[in-house]
Amino acid sequence: MYLPFDKLAELGGTVDVCIIGSGAAGVSIGVTLARQGHRILMCEGGDEVFSERSQDSYRGEVVGDAYLPLEASRLRQLGGSTNHWGGVCRPLDPYDFTAKTAAPETAWPISHTELTPYFSAAADLLDLDPIPADEPIESSALSRIYFSLGGPTRVQLKYADTLSESDNLLCCLNANLVALETTDGRVASATFANYQGEQHQVRARYFILACGGIDNARLLLWCNQQAGGQLIPQAQTLGRYWMEHPHATVGQALIFEPEALGLDETYNVFLSPNEQALANREILNCGLRLHRMNPEASQALIDELSLQAPSLGERIVEWQAQGRVLHGAMLRAAWEQEPRFENHIELSDELDALGIPRSRLVWQQSALDRHTIRESLLLLGEYLVDTDIGRVQLADWLAELPVTLPTDGELAGRHHMGGTRMSHHPEQGIVNADCRLFAQDNMYVAGSSVFASAGHANPTLTLVQLALRLCDHLNQRLTQA
Amino acid sequence: MKNTPYRTNPNVLLIKTYYLLYVSSIRKFALVGWANLHQYKLSVGNVGAVTFQNAAFHNAYNTLQSKPSKARDNITIMLPTYTRRRLLKAATLAGMGVVLVPVSALLPAASAQSQPPASPSRHTPDSIMVNGWLLRASDR
Ligand SMILES: Cc1cc2nc3c(=O)[nH]c(=O)nc-3n(C[C@H](O)[C@H](O)[C@H](O)COP(=O)(O)OP(=O)(O)OC[C@H]3O[C@@H](n4cnc5c(N)ncnc54)[C@H](O)[C@@H]3O)c2cc1C
């Protein structure tokens, strides 16, 4: 049921769980816990549709590598960024949860087996297509991998009935978190403000911050500052280890034997280095996608390749005379970014209309990030050369060292991860393995901000798996009490 | 060394090798390629050296003779790891009137941090990169 903002004051101590934010994370938790019979309040800063006013709070500064404007890479409204996401999903690989020689900080405090039990419920929630198991490609260091590419679920629409009718799930729009009050290791209340400057305090047994991969860190930085450091006494990693998935067109390929790569007519094929190759080359995870070119573009590619490789050109002419069709493919990639302390969200000096300092994102890709994409593409190129089933051309910025990243185009996936990192130790992270703030017994964080590392897979399935795992944890605490 | 990132590990050395081709008939040196900060983890008793592979050499030589200088700049020779003795043996190509002179620098990885790491040794000995294309030497 929708709750008018001024009714927040009348709730008293009746709320079991107060969820702040209504994106994929917030709605997953709200709907699940409400179904289990708990009394849930979900406070959403935006309205049913996004407005300049609510979106303005997402404006911020970017320092470092080229990145998208912060207000353009997320939506501040009911349903959050699921109102414009692409719906591409795949779970993280088991290997993603482990420490790598090249970047030990990639280790999670939990293994993938902790999330596996929540896969099918998360897939139902996001209406995913079945995701087949990876298939190793013979005599190569690559596997063919799969994603769910189904229509993107808009949680606001999918759960429209629950949001308007459930007695257990109260949803308050235009309710922006502006402060958290803490006493004796518990968050006692949260203060919400609307755009008219009215404020109300809400008390609840448990609080969950689910404001996305940038504002989870921003709001905790602000609330901790307001609470004199009592919310997160060991805040050295707050906002830190922020990550994205760099995305780019990384080259092109001419494929002589499409069937060897499992390429069909649609050509929607994803490849990824296998674990052994990742370990041997000391690189992080990477997904390569092949897009089939039209016949004219393929022929142009053949002409270019023949200029550089006349002998091969002669073989191609012979093949074409025999009626063989060669396919050109554009190569796109999304790859893992090393979790680095230096990449972070901080508070800027400028305040938004609610009086909260705007975010400043300090972000740079490391040598390892660049190494990862170059080596991944070389793995594909070497496989094609070894087996003589094609040739790869690296994009100019990758072919020559040092790799200089593009400053325009796709840049990144709009996947905001890290900033409130999950860890076993308060000096190395902000939440524990249950996603709870180390110093607060009743405050949790949901969303990809808790990721310790990012793999290459789009983050929403994993963050929903984590959200459902948090529901189990809270359900247990609520029923035990 | 376990779990120390290679980029910050002072025990890990990077080999940067430039390849100068000396053509005796025209008495000229030319830079035909370089191993772009190939990385090798060197441990005592297993000091690797880098040399070229014949097919790659022929390709570099032909390119030097026939291509404009812009194309020459783009050659990167992919190199397998060999012993130092084999390096010296291979470097003198008697009878062809040419010598490929490798000029290598060993850098502690820690001091080369600002450089992006480059390819470790490859498994395909006869591949070359020309204008971004990863090719077999015989493709040319
Ligand atoms: C264009 C685009 C395409 C994408 N495509 C994909 C894809 O194909 N696959 C994939 O896995 N991921 C994709 N993503 C990422 C995906 O959208 C996010 O991972 C996911 O939506 C994050 O969910 P969330 O609930 O953690 O955060 P959000 O969706 O950001 O939700 C946060 C919510 O908190 C609210 N909020 C913010 N501040 C406050 C406050 N102070 N008080 C109260 N409420 C507040 C916001 O209004 C919002 O509703 C895409 C993102 C974009 C932008």
Query: Is a pLDDT exceeding 70 seen at residue A350?
Result: yes
**Structure tokens, B120:** 């470790």
State the average pLDDT over residues B101-105: 41
Nearest to B52 by CA among B27, B34, B66: B34
- B46 domain-assigned: yes
- B63 domain-assigned: yes
Q: So what's the pLDDT on residue B125?
A: 62
Neighbours of A238 (CB within 10 A): 20
Distance CA A181, CA A226 (A): 9
Q: So what's the pLDDT on residue A13?
A: 84
Which residues are bridge partners to A243 per DSSP? A417
Helix, strand, coil percentages in chain B from 3-state DSSP, rounded to 5? 25, 40, 35
Determine what percent of chain A is predicted with pLDDT higher than 70: 99
Q: So what's the pLDDT on residue A262?
A: 75
Q: Which residues between 364 and 403 in chain A have a beta carbon less than 8 angstroms from any beta carbon of chain B?
A: 367-368, 370-371, 374-375, 378, 381-382, 384-386, 388, 391-396, 398-403
Query: What mean pLDDT, rounded, does chain A reach?
Result: 96
Query: What mean pLDDT, rounded, does chain B reach?
Result: 43
Partner residue facing B36 (CB), from A386, A394, A401: A401
Query: Is a pLDDT exceeding 80 seen at residue A267?
Result: no
Q: So what's the pLDDT on residue A201?
A: 97
- B1 domain-assigned: no
Domain boundaries, chain A: 5-89+107-119+152-237+414-480, 247-335+367-399
Distance CA A319, CA A297 (A): 18
State the average pLDDT over residues A5-25: 95
State the average pLDDT over residues A273-281: 97
Of the candidate ranges A15-24, A82-91, A337-346, B121-130, the one whose mean pLDDT is the lowest? B121-130
State the average pLDDT over residues A191-207: 97
Q: So what's the pLDDT on residue B124?
A: 64
Q: Does the beta carbon of A317 lie under 8 angstroms from any beta carbon of chain B?
A: no
State the average pLDDT over residues A417-427: 98
| Count of domains observed in chain B | 1
Q: So what's the pLDDT on residue A481?
A: 74
Q: So what's the pLDDT on residue B83?
A: 33
Q: So what's the pLDDT on residue B15?
A: 39
A5-89+107-119+152-237+414-480 belongs to which CATH class?
alpha beta
Q: So what's the pLDDT on residue A151?
A: 81
Of the candidate ranges A203-212, A381-390, B86-95, the one whose mean pLDDT is the lowest? B86-95
Tens digits of per-residue pLDDT, A240-250? 999 999 999 99
How do beta strands B92-93 and B49-50 pair? Answer: unpaired
- B49 domain-assigned: yes
Query: Is a pLDDT exceeding 60 seen at residue B105?
Result: no
Query: Is a pLDDT exceeding 80 seen at residue A358?
Result: yes
**What residues make up the domain containing B17?**
6-139
State the average pLDDT over residues A115-120: 98
Distance, CA A340 to ligand 1 centroid (Å)?
A: 22
State the average pLDDT over residues A80-93: 97
Tens digits of per-residue pLDDT, B53-74? 233 333 333 333 333 333 323 3
The answer to whether residues A32 and A223 touch, using CB atoms and an 8 Å cutoff, is: no
Amino acid at site A318? E
State the average pLDDT over residues A261-269: 73
- B115 domain-assigned: yes
Query: Is a pLDDT exceeding 70 seen at residue B16?
Result: no
Q: Which of A81, A171, A176 to mutate to test the pocket of ligand 1 (most atoms within 8 A of CB)?
A: A81
Q: B88 CA to chain A: closest CA distance, Å?
A: 27
Q: What secondary structure letter does DSSP report for B117?
A: P
The answer to whether residues A218 and A177 touch, using CB atoms and an 8 Å cutoff, is: no
State the average pLDDT over residues A52-80: 96
- B59 domain-assigned: yes
**Structure tokens, A189:** 């209340």
